[in-house]
Amino acid sequence: MPIHFISDKKLNLHDLSGILSGKMRVQLSEDAKQKIVRCREYLDNKLAISQQPIYGINTGFGSLYNRHISHDQLEKLQENLVKSHACGTGPEVPREIVKLMLFLKAQSLAYGYSGVQLVTTERLLAMFNENVLPVIYEMGSLGASGDLAPLAHLSLPLIGLGEVYHEQKRKSGAEVNQQFQWPSIHFQAKEGLALLNGTQFMSAYGTWCTLHSHRLMHLANMIGALSLDVFDGRIEPYLPQVHAIRSQTGQGQVAASIKKLLEGSELIAQPKKHVQDPYSFRCIPQVHGASADAIAYVTNVILTEVNSVTDNPNVFPDDDMIISAGNFHGQPLALALDFLSIALAELGNISERRTYQLISGVRDLPNYLVANPGINSGLMIPQYTAASLVSQNKQLATPASVDSIVSSNGQEDHVSMGSNAATKAYRIVNNLYSILAIELITAAQALTFRRPLKTSPDLEEFVHTFREHVPFMEDDRVLHNDIQKAEIFLKKFQVNFPA
């Protein structure tokens, strides 16, 4: 199995996609090991020669920052921190997100500014490699002092507590440690705080959503192009002259992409009776393009975050400084994830409108795209399902980042709520797969009614592959199964992520 070595090399989408695939093991590079050890040694020496209060290392946490902790209690302080903060609730975090959290936590610690032990970071990676995935709950983080509650649950198995999933079974942390002969880790000063402070809950969701957003953007263009063609739409709104005089980057890219997808189509080339198309077809470049620009912005924010140190305080051995600051604050992620949610919700919004147009019995297509409407309802109700999902996405796209609730007795008086932005974005991504699946079912069904004319070779191949999973509908059948198969087909669609 290939090995990814954690180092100073910047992670890109290609790297993250490979790590998320489950077909790669992860190890620390020798340079990363040296940085972790050097930072830990510096911190130990500093504590041995100085009685100066250092937040979270020899003081209490949050509003208890003014409580000094004696040297013989520093280990207990860190263990108590992890136990007391493991108070998440709500649904369990999906395991693919948990696995990303393990990797991203280790990545951040490996830069050598967090003061953790080498054994602690290596244990996180051992859990990643052996698919030992802690049980974490969705609710509990404010996205400001780090993702405290989720990361506490992530950390519990290190000290033999909490629960994990391994080999499809739910086990106690103690049980899985015994199975692998992993001794419980004795947290040193600062370690519990280094594990809990950080944005890895938000950034794991953000990474997953960003990777899927690139796939969804590509699919929305392909399916939109197919819908345009089977609706007997016009190609003129996609000509480069239109987009050259409005220099929006995403708009021009989408127009060029769809024009290329439709090259060789007999349908798009046939004479048209109508002079223009509804906005959901004519304005695909403008709407999809704006979402593409948003995804590009969010991608930059997410990649910056996963290549950063986000705990507190930060330890700088070269400068002989330990600085308590605010790198754990999730505002960059909160704003970006809210933006992503809006961008993806709009891709679903316009998709459902295309579905509606295709089943409405216009432009020589039969009502609900079935040969015998009346006795057959055809594709009437999938559009209802798409409308329901679109409506929910609109509600989920309401920004979380505009909210803030004071915590820790006023010490933490502005929070990002980026964790809520992250979990909402995750739901929108999954809803969008369902919405696009319904549009694809609809467009593929409409294509049959345009025979013997063909769409472009690229789209004919796309539909042919899809038909291996979801056949043409002659008569009514249970369409839940079709939608589910279409969703799986789209989620497995291969996309090349930039390296």
End-to-end CA distance of the chain: 20
What is the rounded distance in angstroms from the CA atom of residue 314 to the CA atom of residue 311?
7
How many other CB atoms sit within 10 Å of the CB of residue 193? 29
Beta-bridged to residue 164, according to DSSP, are: 134, 171
What is the rounded distance in angstroms from the CA atom of residue 47 to the CA atom of residue 53?
10
What is the rounded distance in angstroms from the CA atom of residue 197 to the CA atom of residue 72?
23
The CA dihedral of 108, 96, 20, 261, to the nearest 10 degrees, is: -130
User: In the 3-class helix/strand/coil scheme, how is 416-437 assigned residue by residue?
Assistant: CCHHHHHHHHHHHHHHHHHHHH
- 116 neighbors 181 (Cβ within 8 angstroms): no
Beta-bridged to residue 68, according to DSSP, are: 59
- 116 neighbors 40 (Cβ within 8 angstroms): yes
Residue of 428, 206, 424, 144 whose CA lies nearest to 336: 206
Residue 452 DSSP SS3: coil
In the structure encoding, which two tokens stand for residue 63, read together?
A: 């509003």
Beta-bridged to residue 169, according to DSSP, are: 166
Residue type, 237: P
Beta-bridged to residue 59, according to DSSP, are: 68
Residue with tokens 């070269």: 318
Length in residues, the chain: 499
What is the rounded distance in angstroms from the CA atom of residue 221 to the CA atom of residue 225?
6
264 conformational bin, left if phi > 0, alpha if psi -120 to 50, beta if neither = left
Beta-bridged to residue 163, according to DSSP, are: 172
Helix residue ranges per DSSP H, 239-379: 240-244, 249-261, 266-269, 279-282, 284-306, 331-359
165 belongs to the catalytic site:
no
What is the rounded distance in angstroms from the CA atom of residue 463 to the CA atom of residue 447?
9
What is the rounded distance in angstroms from the CA atom of residue 470 to the CA atom of residue 480?
11
- 143 neighbors 417 (Cβ within 8 angstroms): yes
Is the omega angle on the peptide bond into residue 278 within 30 degrees of 0, that is, cis?
Answer: no
Residue type, 480: H
Catalytic, out of 55, 111, 368, 426 = 55
In the structure encoding, which two tokens stand for residue 442, read together?
A: 């609809």
Helix residue ranges per DSSP H, 157-248: 173-180, 191-196, 200-230, 240-244
Residues labelled as active-site residues: 55
